[in-house]
Amino acid sequence: MNRTLLAATAMYLLFIVYGSLVPLELRDLSITDAYSQFSRINYLQLGAGSRADWIANILLYIPLAFGLSASFGGVRHPLARLLLALFVGIFCLALAIGVEFAQLFFPPRTVSLNDLIAETLGTLIGLLTWHFFGAYTSQLYAHLKQGSLLSAKAAIIFYAVIYIALSLFPFDFVATHAELDDKLANGHDALLLPFDACTAEPLRCGVKLFAEIAALLPLGMLFCFLPYLQHRRTVAVLVGLFLGIGIEIVQVFLLSGSGQGLSVLTRVLGMGLGASLWGWGKQLPLSELTALLRRLFWLSLLPYIGLVLAINGWFSADWLTLDEALTKLVETRFLPLYYFYYTSEGVALVSLLSNVGMYLPVGLLCWLRFFSAAPPHKPAPHWIFAGILAAVFALIVETGKLFVPDKHADPS
């Protein structure tokens, strides 16, 4: 039994339960009435707008079933493996039924057979994924910890799979030709770039394009760790090209997607720059690289802070008064993930990744600072220091939102 993985799966299980009951607005309902309502739950006719929510329920239970199966991955006997799969399946289905029943006590959550079907499908997919790919995934993870050529291969596979999955989430594909026509008529897809959206918010548009480049820098660097690979930069650029074309074509067929040609170029740039940075850094002596990192820290600090404040509206023309800000503070809900409930799964994921990406440079800047300045005999501060620093910075930024019209502070 893998205790670490089992603990991580248990944490994910708690996330499922908590996320399924947010906003935690308990109502007075007897067990008898709840059972009566639950016995009459209906199958709803969902439109295209609800497809992403339904698919999200499928995706929610895939990692749970996969993680539970992997936690007991040492089981080898065929009969024992079958019994384990049955146990995991029954446990996940019991959890799904229990969560759906509990949602009756927490309006405005919707209880339907659609959710139970989706969660059942997610459980089956998770079990089948472990059955067919579990051994390979375990082998890749073991290679990842070795610090060798095999580690680079494993890291490339993990990074690429996660990147593609996040790029296509929530997998709400169009189901009919009419849906595709309606989706294309919205104007979110563009051969180059949706200029109307970028004209309205040029800063956010620029940050989005920069983030697309930055997201593939690590993958471009990882390709350079393959010693047998010739013309690494060319290979990285071609991978970025095909990756970009494939993702953007699929985005056209996603209801929540936005296909744009410029994103193909940003992915090419990300892969190419990653490979180029690796080759350039490898040629520098350690002392020169250290001095360069020290300068890079001070050159990046103020622009980064200014960019984060600008994105969050700190430089808007009209700020609210202190009394108005205090009124917004009183109205703020401090329940974690509270505001995510009132958006779609796709928007919630984008918001979550945006906030993670916004404060990720805090850790990078701490690494630049301590790597370049700490003496060899003196260990760098614990990683928790970077986390606390990012939390303090986020607190300042979110507090500032109280004074910005059309912004709300989110404690999450």
Domain boundaries, the chain: 1-145, 176-283, 285-412
Number of H helices, E strands in the chain: 15, 0
Distance CA 233, CA 226 (A): 12
Tokens of 320: 């609210």
Which pLDDT does position 219 carry in this prediction? Answer: 94
Tokens of 3: 């205790």
Phi-psi region of 374 (alpha: psi -120 to 50; beta: other; left: phi over 0): beta
- Spell out a b/e string for 81-103, using b for 16 or more CB atoms within 10 Å of the CB, else e: beebbeebbeebbebbeebbbeb
Q: What angle do CA 137, 157, 227 make, to 5 degrees?
A: 120
Residue with token string 């080759």: 279
Which pLDDT does position 119 carry in this prediction? Answer: 93
Measure the CA dihedral 164/170/174/175, to 10°.
Answer: 110
Residue 317 neighbours by CB distance under 10 Å: 5
Distance CA 121, CA 253 (A): 22
Which pLDDT does position 412 carry in this prediction? Answer: 73
Which pLDDT does position 345 carry in this prediction? Answer: 64
Which pLDDT does position 42 carry in this prediction? Answer: 86
> What residues of the chain score a pLDDT lower than 70?
49, 195-197, 286, 317, 344-346, 371-382
**pTM for the structure as a whole:** 0.86
Which pLDDT does position 39 carry in this prediction? Answer: 86
402 three-state secondary structure: coil
Distance CA 101, CA 119 (A): 14
The DSSP letter of residue 339 is G
Measure the CA dihedral 263/267/270/273, to 10°.
Answer: -110
Which pLDDT does position 401 carry in this prediction? Answer: 87
**What are the CA-CA distances from residue 169 to residues 59, 131, 163, 164, 351 (Å)?**
9, 24, 10, 9, 13
